[in-house]
Amino acid sequence: MSALVRHGPLVSRIVAAIFGGYALAALASVAALALPMSKPQAVLTGMLVSFVVYVCAVIWVFAVRSARRAWSGLAFIAVPLLMAAWTVWPGGHVS
Amino acid sequence: MRSARDSKAKGRGIRQSMSDLHTWAGLLAGWILYAMFLTGTVSYFKDETSQWMRPEQAQQRDMPDAALVAQRVVETLGKIAAGSTQWSFALPDERTSVIDSFWRTPGASKGKRAFESARFDPVTGERTTARETLGGEFFYRFHFQFYYMPVLWGRWLAGLCAMFMLVAIVSGVITHKKIFVDFFTFRWGKGQRSWLDAHNALSVFGLPFHAMITYTGLVTLMAMYMPWGAQTAFRTPAERAAMTSQLSAFIQPRESSGQNAPLAPVDAMVREAQARWGRDKVGRVTITNPGDSTARVAVSRGEASRVSMSPQYMLFDGVTGKLIEVKDSVGGAAETRGVLYALHLGRFSDMQLRWLYFIVSLAGTAMVGTGLVMWTVKRRQKLADPARPYVGFWLVERLNIASIAGLSIAMTSFLWGNRLLPLGIAARDDAEVNVFFAMWGATLLYAFVRPARRAWIELLWLATAMLAFVPALNALTTNRPLWRSIAQGDWVFAGFDLMMWAFALLHAALAIRVTRHRPRTKPVGKRIAARAVMPEREKESA
């Protein structure tokens, strides 16, 4: 139990880096569909950018002071990406 | 990263966090990355390796005319792959003297192999009589999908490791504040300090390359790693097809009409392509629904003449032979992806550039190798009793031995297997691969049971001996010994044999350095043993 308390923040960061980072990258690749370009080009742009997002997310997660900050940073970036992704989600927009 | 810098002054220091991240990301993926890097590095000479591994296939002195070759292959395929809905074959170029072809298995049901493949001789158009081997293709495939596991799993594993690599590169650069100054600093004979300097020099020297090759490696399989955008955007097969056409010249068969119609002469179509791109610049011919009235023929441009893998092809009606469409450009993002893809493969390179690719990539391999060894060097000094390290240290040290010295032995064994396995045995190509893995496994066992320092020295000497003997083995088992290759100006064969000796020298130098190195019990005094020149995986000790 004490091991869990001691390693909890580290485990939390590792999860944030690997899975949180991937989720953010995936979200960015969907959000790229909102770019003003044809669908195939937007899809490819999203894919190309996603790995950069992933790396930056991982670096962020381990650079900040606490695991809590790490997660909130990812969430902070996720909000505008979610809004952009919402507009292109099938059925997500009104038009 | 900017946000990362903002928090610099806080906590335990960004540099320390990044250093830890660098160490652990590098270590955990390090053994696989080393293997990916080394097998990827030799893949820059994939075609040459394949030539050497098929000694029965005569040296190609003049480039055969692609149009004639294509027509011959089409006639052969008409005999052995009739009823298939899709044929595809690569035309010979300066580096390949056989034609790799594959076709959709006629009437393949679920659970059966969907494709069959064969290699043809460009001169006869018939199947080659050369020995069954995967050739350099084995190393190439292994470096991104491994073996003995489903291809998809292998590719995901490779992608995960590549991501670790990218993280290790970025965190390494942040850790390393005086990256430029330190490039000109090399502290000889200072133990761990020299290891660090070697690791830094190798990393910084090739930094743009290492970053490029890792990122572009991810790009080659990005549609698999990041399918979400495509899944969200494309709802219909037509949309998906429009996307695919931005990425690949590999045309898909349409619904066949069922009406027989003979295929128009393919050589005439290839001639049109030659007129457009140049005589030896045609890459591949793909034919869908051959023999049907809906037949289509795509003749695509070779990879050697441009720095892009994005599709460029001419599409012909397979019955009338008329040109339907010329595809010579794709969208901006698709072209970006095509260029990144091409940068990774380096197939556009001429000989000089190919060697540069090879050398820098070898430096990348050495970067991973020195990093792995440094993990143990750094921690050995702090061991209470170096003879009895804790289990994590013990494991890392042994895995280092097997993944570095052992891989050289395994790769060389693959070449030995190619020359020594009987020609007639069934699934000979698989048998060669089994030799590779059996030897690799054997080196791992050996590393587990021997004292670490002895294991390094003995395995490096074994690698040296095996490498040095390859040209002799070639001379004994084929009629293309080194002296004849040189006399006949066959530089693929001669170069391959000579490179084996170059690698043998490298391994001998490493073995000698490990032997000379005396491990320090106290971290004082200067040793000459650390005079590192090259990859230097040497100074390991028990």
Cβ neighbours around B335 below 10 Å, total: 17
Segments of chain A with pLDDT less than 70:
1, 91-95
**A63 vs B14: CB contact, 8 Å cut-off?**
yes
Report domain extents, chain B: 8-55+139-220+345-530, 66-128+250-328
Q: Tell me if A44 is assigned to some domain.
A: yes
Amino acid at A53: V
Q: pLDDT value at position B178?
A: 64
- Tell me whether strands B86-90 and B313-317 are parallel, antiparallel or unpaired: unpaired
Q: Is B336 on the interface with A (CB under 8 A)?
A: yes
Chain B residues near residue A37 by CB distance under 8 angstroms: 331-333
Which residue of chain A comes nearest to B332, CA vs CA?
Answer: A41
Closest residue in chain A to residue B340, using alpha carbons only: A48
- Indicate whether A78 belongs to any domain: yes
Nearest neighbour of A55 by CB, restricted to B3, B17, B166? B166
CA B506 – CA B536 distance, rounded (Å): 9
Distances (CA, A) of B304 to A75, B89, B153, B269, B272: 45, 16, 30, 20, 19
Scored b (16 or more CB within 10 A) or e, B308-326 reads bbbbbbbbbbbbeeebeee
Pull the structure tokens for residue B197.
């300097």
Instruction: Tell me which chain B residue has its CA closest to the CA of residue A92.
Output: B232
Q: Which domain holds residue A68?
A: 21-88
* pLDDT given for residue B5 in this prediction: 41
- Domain assignment present for A55: yes
Distances (CA, A) of A6 to A2, A12, A14, B22: 6, 11, 14, 22
For chain B, say whether A39 makes contact (Cβ under 8 Å).
yes
Place of tokens 């742009």: A45
**pLDDT score recorded for residue A79:** 94
Q: Facing residues of B286 across strands?
A: B88, B298
**Nearest-CA residue of chain A relative to B15?**
A63
Q: Is residue A51 part of a domain?
A: yes
Chain B residues with CB under 8 Å of A45 CB are 333
ipTM above 0.95, yes or no: no
- Count Cα neighbours of B76 within 13 Å in the Cβ-side half-sphere: 24
Q: Is residue A3 included in any domain, yes or no?
A: no
Helix (H, G, I), strand (E, B) or coil at B417: helix
- Cβ of B306: how many Cβ atoms within 10 Å? 17
Taking an 8 Å cut-off on Cβ atoms, the answer to whether A62 and B1 are in contact is no
Q: Which of residues 154-173 of B touch A (CB under 8 A)?
A: 163, 166-167, 170-171
Tokens 């992806």 locate to: B337
* CA B41 to chain centroid: 6
Is B221's Cβ below 8 Å from some Cβ in A?
Answer: no
H or E segment at B303?
Answer: none
A41 near B CB under 8 A: yes
Q: How far is CA B182 from CA B13, B173, B193, B199, in A?
A: 21, 12, 12, 11
Per-residue confidence in pLDDT tens, chain B, 542 aa: 344 444 444 446 888 888 899 999 999 999 999 999 999 999 999 999 999 999 998 888 888 889 999 999 999 999 998 888 999 999 988 888 889 999 988 776 655 668 888 999 988 889 988 899 999 999 999 999 999 889 999 999 999 999 999 999 999 988 876 665 665 666 666 667 777 778 888 888 888 999 999 999 999 999 999 999 999 999 888 888 888 888 888 888 888 888 889 999 999 999 999 999 988 889 999 999 998 999 999 999 988 878 999 999 999 999 999 999 999 889 999 999 999 999 999 998 888 999 999 999 999 999 999 999 989 888 888 888 877 888 899 999 999 999 999 999 999 999 999 999 999 898 999 999 999 999 999 999 999 999 988 999 999 999 999 999 999 999 999 999 999 999 999 999 999 999 999 999 999 999 998 888 766 554 433 333 333 333 333 333 32
**Domain tally for chain A?**
1
Residue A74 domain-assigned (yes or no):
yes
User: Quick check: is A2 in a domain?
Assistant: no
Q: Is B315 helix (H, G, I), strand (E, B) or coil?
A: strand
Give the minimum alpha-carbon distance from B390 to chain A in angstroms, rounded to a whole number. Answer: 19
Q: Do B3 and A60 touch (CB under 8 A)?
A: yes
Q: Output the six-digit token pair for B24.
A: 């652990």
CB-closest option in A43, A48, A64 to B230: A43
Q: What integer pLDDT is reported at residue B533 of this predicted model?
A: 35
CA–CA separation, B480 and B456 (whole Å): 34
Picking from B215, B185, B212, the residue whose alpha carbon sits closest to that of residue B199 is: B185
Per residue, the 3-state secondary structure of B113-127, as one string, reads CCEEEEEECCCCCCE
C-alpha B12/C-alpha B10 separation (Å) is: 7
Best of B163, B173, B248 to substitute, by most chain A Cβ atoms within 10 angstroms, is B163
From chain A, pick out residues whose CB is under 8 angstroms from the CB of B166: 51, 55
